[in-house]
Amino acid sequence: MSKSLMQTYNRLPITFAHGNGAWLTDTEGKRYLDALSGIAVCGLGHAHPAVTEALREQVGKLLHTSNLYHISAQNELGDMLTQMSGMERVFFGNSGAEANEAAIKLARLHGRQKGIDKPAIVVMERSFHGRTLATLSATGSRKAQAGFEPLVQGFVRVPYNDIAAIQSVAENRQDIVAVLVEPVQGEGGINIPDDGYLAGIREICDTNDWLMMLDEIQSGMGRTGQYFAFQHTNIQPDVITLAKSLGNGVPIGACLARGGAADLFAPGNHGSTFGGNPLVCQAALVVCKTLVQERLEERAAQLGERILSGLQQNLRDTGGVRGIRGKGLMLAVELDRPCGELVNEALADGLLINVTAERVVRLLPPLVMSDMEADQLVVQLSKLIVDFLAEKS
């Protein structure tokens, strides 16, 4: 533990020295199977040769020039992302929170354009959108907000996966300009909405001239079995936000828009010094190219099914297991009790997992995991959960 760092994290007693694919090695030489990918960041795994090579080359050429000039890798990445997503324009920042800040600012400009002075955005219970003042105000967690009041105004909260609740807001308020929602909630416990939820939101947004804004920061870049989770449906959002696995560990975030929303920013009303610099754009470019060329989104779907059905087979009849669910490689085993200790038990066993929303074991494995590694994950985790539940009952 370091006394010179602000105590913002409860860190596990471990330091990693290097990694390879789905494996990490700590400073003592012990190896761990990584079922978390640095919280959905290292989708291509650790030390991916194509990423390493692209970064090496760019580091020796040019790191940063600022957005006072054209940046060819940024142009190329913009083209690639708009093609993959069906969106029209991209703004690059450095994190998920910044991507969402850009989306929130777009929504407010959209409102102003409609003559609404105090525009409000519909957000969800149990959502997570980041830690800046605006994004923590949008986040559906009192824990994230406590102590930081006054919160940023202009958010209206409704339950997740509840179309009627959004419809009721539409009928009762004239100040709404957008909906901001995760297509699958990550931090909130891997909550997968009913089929038709996104289409229902699309319809309400169309009827009321609201922007439909999807936070794909955790679900995007192939993780759920499509490039972006909304592509499991046939709707197209107005705005999507990306970060996490976009740079495979190099900090980059993006806000993508189409239609009127793509034209709202003009020179001078938004920006970022680092945003979209040559280094991070080269990293994200190679991530996108690898994803597309190797069809890793299809691999994520396959692997996800393999892990899900393995866990279902092993844990279906285990008392204390409340639910086993997943969309691609966003996977969860929900227990009937708080289970934070499981993280330490898994660590001792050489496995990296996460517990979120107190009772939900969350898995976000890299898309490059092999079948054998996935099977090992299922066996190891099932045993840990069975033992944990037996001990506690």
Q: Which residues bind ligand PLP (CB under 6 A)?
A: 95-97, 100, 128-130, 182, 186-187, 215, 217-218, 243-244
Q: What are the C-alpha distances in Å from 182 to residues 133, 192, 240, 241?
A: 19, 9, 10, 10
> Which residue in the list 34, 228, 244, 265 is annotated as catalytic?
244
Minimum distance of ligand PLP from residue 6's CB (angstroms) = 16
Shortest Cβ 185–ligand PLP spacing (Å): 8
DSSP letter at 117 equals S
244 noted as active-site residue? yes
Q: How far is the CB of 207 from ligand PLP (least distance, A)?
A: 26
| Token pair of 211 as six digits | 């922007």
Q: Which structure tokens are listed for 225? A: 């079995």
Q: Is 16 a catalytic residue?
A: no
* Distance of alpha carbon 152 from alpha carbon 268, whole angstroms: 22
Q: To the nearest whole angstrom, how small is the minimum distance from the Cβ of residue 228 to ligand PLP? A: 13
For ligand PLP, the closer of residues 219 and 314 by Cβ is: 219
* Nearest residue (CB) to ligand PLP, 38 versus 310: 38
Q: Which residues of 102-125 are buried (b: 16+ CB within 10 A; e: fewer)?
A: bbbbbbbbbbeeeeeeebbbbbbb
Min dist. Cβ of residue 127 to ligand PLP (A)? 8
Decide whether 104 or 385 has the Cβ nearer to ligand PLP.
104
- Catalytic annotation on 175? no
Alpha carbons 69 and 273: distance in angstroms, whole number: 12
Which CB sits closer to ligand PLP, 191 or 314?
191
223 vs 385, beta carbon nearer ligand PLP = 223
Position 178, amino acid = A
Q: Which of 215, 228, 230, 388 is catalytic?
A: 215
- Which residue lies nearer to ligand PLP by CB, 124 or 315? 124
Q: Where are the alpha helices (DSSP H) in the chain?
A: 37-40, 49-59, 72-85, 96-113, 133-138, 142-145, 163-172, 197-208, 278-293, 296-315, 341-348, 371-392
Burial 325-356 (b: 16+ CB within 10 A, else e): bbbbbbbbbbbeeebeebbebbbeeebbbbbb
Query: Nearest to residue 228, comparing CAs of 184, 191, 188?
Result: 184
By Cβ distance, which residue is nearest to ligand PLP? 96
Whole-number minimum distance, CB 105 to ligand PLP, in Å?
15
| Residue 26: its H or E element | strand 23-26
**How many other C-beta atoms lie within 10 A of the C-beta of residue 56?**
10
Rounded Cα distance between 367 and 300, Å, is: 5
Residue closer to ligand PLP by CB (options 216, 297) is 216
- Give the shortest CB-154-to-ligand PLP separation in angstroms: 18
Which candidate in 128, 155, 228, 388 is catalytic? Answer: 128
- Give the DSSP letter of residue 215: E
DSSP 275: T
Residues annotated as catalytic (active site), given as ranges: 128, 215, 244
